[in-house]
Structure 1
Amino acid sequence: MFDLLYLGFGEILNIKILLVIFIGVVVGVIAGLIPGFTVAMAIVLTLPLTFGMEPVTGIAAMIGVFVGGMSGGLISAALLGIPGTPSSVATTFDAYPMAKNGHPGKALSIGIWASFLSSIISLLILVTIAPQVSQFALKFGPWEMFALICLALTIIASVTGESMIKGLIAGLFGILISTIGADPIMGFARFTFDLSVLRAGIPFLVVLIGMFAISRLMESLEKPQMEKDLKEKQKENAAEVAFVLRPIKTLKTVLKKPGTLIGSSFIGSIIGAIPGAGGSIANIVAYDQAKKWSKDPKKFGTGCEEGVVASEAGNNSTVGGDLIPTVALGIPGSAVTAVLLSALMVHGITPGPLLIVEEPGIVGGIFVAFFIASFGMLITQFAGMRYFVKVTQVPTHLLVPIILMLCVVGTFVLNNRVTDLYILLAMGIIGYLFTKYKFALAPAIIGVILGPIAEVNLRRAFMTNPDWTLFVSRPISLTFLVLTVLSILFTIWQSSRTKAKLNRP
């Protein structure tokens, strides 16, 4: 553990990298506070800019955006009552009433400190657990890896949105996309329909940018009413945003609630480590648990300090938890860490259990970049709060062309192929149709990332030994397959239970 941190500090303590992390945090905060502009979208747009960087620098930049984005949603949640990101929904429950009651600075300050301290707690959990998980994973063969990916693919069932059937269709669509192009073992073309544009396959980064960014741009252009409502909300709250932050006083307030802070941070870290869960679930679960354990639950929803601490601690601590399966197993815990894995692949680094052994400097760099980004977020939020608020007033018709240009340039730079731009447009239209007809995007992205890994390990297993019973006779592989079945059954039970509740009179 300490060796990794030592190597990480050696990699990161460079003026250029520190500046890149700081810029990433600023970009993340701005992305997080714009309602409808998700952290995943910000990370996707950042990715092409990292291609010309060293691997550690590029990953550090994206960690900065990740940390900044998770805390940025606090600003619009507190001042406008509109969550900047899905992971700041519960923050509106108490931060907004506190701001309306004449204490906007207090709401923001408490949220910032809770975000920072929970990030540090989740970092300690990450640094402690990830190397241990990785050591265990070194015992894996292709049978264990295939079984693990099967378990990971059940994430698709837990992020399906309103309809499990639609989510599974989206996931299968992602797996199908990953099979187009050259066969990973034999190298011959498949599913190309003799179209030259498909012979090189469909790059997963183009799928990410198209389905997440382009589709959201189309969606935002279709909803001018959203911008109108936002402006009305801003006028309502133009309430003297002449707020006073008082960081020292609010730090003491947060520290007086250690149970809520630590408990919510652990909840966020655990939920973050579960692939497919994410900050939006952690934000609400942490808030709900804090309310249940509170001596005075009735004060929640009226501008309660404890509610702001719980929601923001639960939200931001998911970053460290999310990185645990990413670093230790090479499995994305969310769409954001799927992009981080993509960045590693672009730089020729293979994610997986061997990452800590083969690239300890990269892993240490991730840990230290997270640590520094947390401090960067704290400084950036307090120093730039008044200016960040103005960003929420930028009209959509100005933001859309800028983001579109970044998407097109980033896609072209990836392989210098014009054909990728056609694929980008196609993926954008498909992503838009998915969103319009309420198909979740996350399952498709997870399918694109995990599908090829599952295929390669399955084929390696049969090439090593054609006996299929090895999948159930090897203890670790069998355990993962049993967990896969249990995960599917649990999701079905949970889904039917939710439907039953909704159908009750």
Structure 2
Amino acid sequence: MDILSNLAIGFGTAVTLQNLLYCLIGCLVGTLIGVLPGIGPVATIAMLLPLTFKLPPEAALIMLAGIYYGAAYGGSTTAILVNLPGEASSVVTTLDGYQMAKKGRAGAALSISALGSFFAGTVGTLLIVLFAKPLTEMAQKFGPSEYCALMALGLVAAVVLASGSVVKAIAMVFLGLLIGLVGTDVNTGAQRFTFNIPELSDGIDFAPIAMGLFGIAEIIANLEKRSTREVEKTVITSLWPTREEVRQAWPAVLRGTGIGSLLGVLPGGGPTLSAFSSYTLEKKISKTPQIFGKGAVAGVAAPESANNAASQTSFIPMLTLGIPSNAVMALMVGAMIIQGIQPGPEVMTKKPELFWGMIASMWIGNLMLVIINLPLIGIWVKLLTVPYRFLYPSILLFCCIGAYSLQNSTFHVMTVAIFGVIGYVFLKLGCEGAPFLLGLVLGPQMEEYFRRAMLLSRGDATVFVTRPLSAGLLAVTVILLVLMALPSLRKKREEAFQEEG
């Protein structure tokens, strides 16, 4: 009965006219940036963070969440129709989705993708409802040592599951931790690494870093690429899949939903890893693996279900524990802090309307996305004909206005520009921005909990291993570090992110 009463609170919040409007805006913007290659939800949410200052917390977070899971839907449309993945998680959909389109089955591929995503999103949201309360109750038993150990686990897991070089991922986490040290020490009041610059006394603001690292850096990277894309016209005769296509799709949807639901919860997992992993699994268990890459229905159904399930379940650790599982969730934590809300287990008890309202809005948003995506296919494909040179000046202007409006300070605009250049250098060096952002968000909190634990234990460091929960979390962290050093695991980890051709 508790679940039903909580959902009643959630739907009461989510179905207000204002929140429905912001949910629709989030879904539309998410679909748009999913369709357009080279922007992505991380950059978009980073750029929109300043707008959330003036919004109520519920409306702001519902809109940002809609952008995140909406991008998973939008990316599949152009991946199937014109072989252009708008999102990294939609790369694998191009392999079979575009081949289905070339065979005249574009409508069926789009329907399978949209309905599979809707099913996976519904299941993912249901899992949040089922696990949110038990996890929150468990988290309320955490002391400073447990929180410190949990954040250490989150950072190590982000390194294990990040794509690319392990060494680079570790370096990015440590760089994020170092940047997080800038500002005033909360215990002593001493200023650290501020170089007598008054604007740095409160630390480097999270929003300008995110906007520069993801928004500006992506623009610079896209501008250096010569755009040679040509949008082919795909005729869609029917949106309904055949009975045989449905028979091939539903087991893949179930398996993709399961994989995505699990990997979405893990730090660093997220939609991209889920999509590639589910595609690899389908190909390995198929009796006819040779049809993959030539228009296999399962090659569309599985990754699309997986990436959407992962988008939903990645909210579980963020909402219940205050631990972001990927870069977007780190931005969501930043949005909560901007709104004066301390992320963690107390959100459910102190802000039940916000907590359950966000969850209820995910069901509404997933339904909106099915309605938005299928009838408006023609409009989304038309957007691809807009030259990128017309898009980037408006994005740059929006970033600068947003950064300036934070505190009416040009310092934030300069911060965006500096981190834009730094982000571009990261891209050139093959370094991911996500581990950096997780280090930046979790670092100051981990330091605070570490020092609090040491103060309570009077400097006795054994408090981290004498408390069972803390010791268990640290044991898992050590196991992950050991596994990361194994060559066989490193090889499998690299293969998981490779595009299969």
Shift of 1:497: 4.3
Shift of 1:188: 2.6
Output the CA distance in 2 between the equivalents of 1:162 and 1:500: 9
Give the alignment partner of residue 71 of structure 1, picking from 70, 73, 77: 73
- Identity over aligned residues, as a percent? 34
Give the alignment partner of residue 309 of structure 1, picking from 278, 301, 307: 301
Letter in 2 for 1:47: L
- Quickly say closer, same or farther: Cα 1:192–1:79, change in 2 above 3 A: same
Contact 2:249 2:297 in 1 (8 A): no
Shift of 1:143: 0.6
Letter in 2 for 1:2: L
Matched, 1:168 2:170: yes
Partner of 2:109: 107
Partner of 2:31: 29
Contact 2:96 2:296 in 1 (8 A): yes
Output the CA distance in 2 between the equivalents of 1:296 and 1:373: 36
Output the CA distance in 1 between the equivalents of 2:274 and 2:345: 26
Shift of 1:256: 6.6
Task: List per-residue Cα deviations over 1:266-304 (Å, max 9, x = no partner).
Answer: 110100000101111100111222233334333222212
Shift of 1:359: 1.5
Matched, 1:465 2:467: no
Give the alignment partner of residue 356 of structure 2, picking from 354, 361, 364: 364
Partner of 1:434: 426
1:312-351 equivalences under 5 Å are 312-351=304-343
- Quickly say closer, same or farther: Cα 1:273–1:393, change in 2 above 3 A: same
Partner of 2:388: 396
Contact 1:114 1:254 in 2 (8 A): no
Shift of 1:408: 1.1
Partner of 1:487: 480
Output the CA distance in 2 between the equivalents of 1:362 and 1:63: 12
1:90 is paired with a residue of what secondary structure? helix
1:388 is paired with a residue of what secondary structure? helix
Contact 1:113 1:378 in 2 (8 A): yes
Deviates more, 1:445-454 or 1:357-366: 357-366
Task: List per-residue Cα deviations over 1:170-199 (Å, max 9, x = no partner).
Answer: 111111111111113333311111123322
Contact 1:173 1:444 in 2 (8 A): yes
Output the CA distance in 2 between the equivalents of 1:501 and 1:372: 36
Shift of 1:255: 7.0
1:101-500 equivalences under 5 Å are 101-223=103-225, 225=226, 227-228=227-228, 230-231=229-230, 234=231, 237-238=232-233, 241-247=234-240, 249=241, 253-254=245-246, 257-466=249-458, 467-493=460-486, 497-498=490-491
Output the CA distance in 1 between the equivalents of 2:242 and 2:264: 26
- Quickly say closer, same or farther: Cα 1:38–1:159, change in 2 above 3 A: farther
Shift of 1:430: 0.8
Letter in 1 for 2:236: F
Output the CA distance in 1 between the equivalents of 2:159 and 2:16: 42
Gaps of 5+ in 2: 496-501
Letter in 1 for 2:429: Y
- Quickly say closer, same or farther: Cα 1:111–1:447, change in 2 above 3 A: same
Task: List per-residue Cα deviations over 1:427-449 (Å, max 9, x = no partner).
Answer: 11111111112121111111110
Q: CA RMSD in A?
A: 2.0
Deviates more, 1:184-193 or 1:303-312: 184-193
1:333 is paired with a residue of what secondary structure? coil
Letter in 2 for 1:137: A
Shift of 1:161: 3.6
Shift of 1:306: 1.9
Contact 1:254 1:309 in 2 (8 A): no
Task: List per-residue Cα deviations over 1:15-40 (Å, max 9, x = no partner).
Answer: 12111111111111110111122121
Output the CA distance in 2 between the equivalents of 1:251 and 1:451: 52
- Quickly say closer, same or farther: Cα 1:371–1:486, change in 2 above 3 A: same
Output the CA distance in 1 between the equivalents of 2:121 and 2:396: 32
- Quickly say closer, same or farther: Cα 1:254–1:339, change in 2 above 3 A: farther
Output the CA distance in 2 between the equivalents of 1:380 and 1:278: 24
Q: TM-score, normalised by structure 2?
A: 0.94
Partner of 1:90: 92
Output the CA distance in 1 between the equivalents of 2:244 and 2:453: 56
1:111 is paired with a residue of what secondary structure? helix
Contact 2:282 2:299 in 1 (8 A): yes
Shift of 1:158: 2.3
Shift of 1:501: 9.3
Shift of 1:242: 3.0
Task: List per-residue Cα deviations over 1:82-113 (Å, max 9, x = no partner).
Answer: 22111112211210100111222222121111
1:415 is paired with a residue of what secondary structure? coil
1:317 is paired with a residue of what secondary structure? helix
Task: List per-residue Cα deviations over 1:221-266 (Å, max 9, x = no partner).
Answer: 222x2x12x23xx2xx33xx2313425x569954774322222101
Q: TM-score, normalised by structure 1?
A: 0.93
Contact 1:32 1:71 in 2 (8 A): yes
Letter in 2 for 1:459: R
Output the CA distance in 2 between the equivalents of 1:28 and 1:455: 34
Letter in 2 for 1:481: L
Contact 2:172 2:433 in 1 (8 A): yes
Output the CA distance in 1 between the equivalents of 2:49 and 2:479: 36
Gaps of 5+ in 1: none
Shift of 1:42: 1.8
Output the CA distance in 2 between the equivalents of 1:501 and 1:444: 20
Output the CA distance in 2 between the equivalents of 1:212 and 1:184: 29
Letter in 2 for 1:498: K
Task: List per-residue Cα deviations over 1:16-71 (Å, max 9, x = no partner).
Answer: 21111111111111101111221211222232222211100001111111121111
Task: List per-residue Cα deviations over 1:151-179 (Å, max 9, x = no partner).
Answer: 01103422554322222221111111111
Contact 1:113 1:251 in 2 (8 A): no
Deviates more, 1:463-472 or 1:157-166: 157-166
Output the CA distance in 1 between the equivalents of 2:67 and 2:24: 9
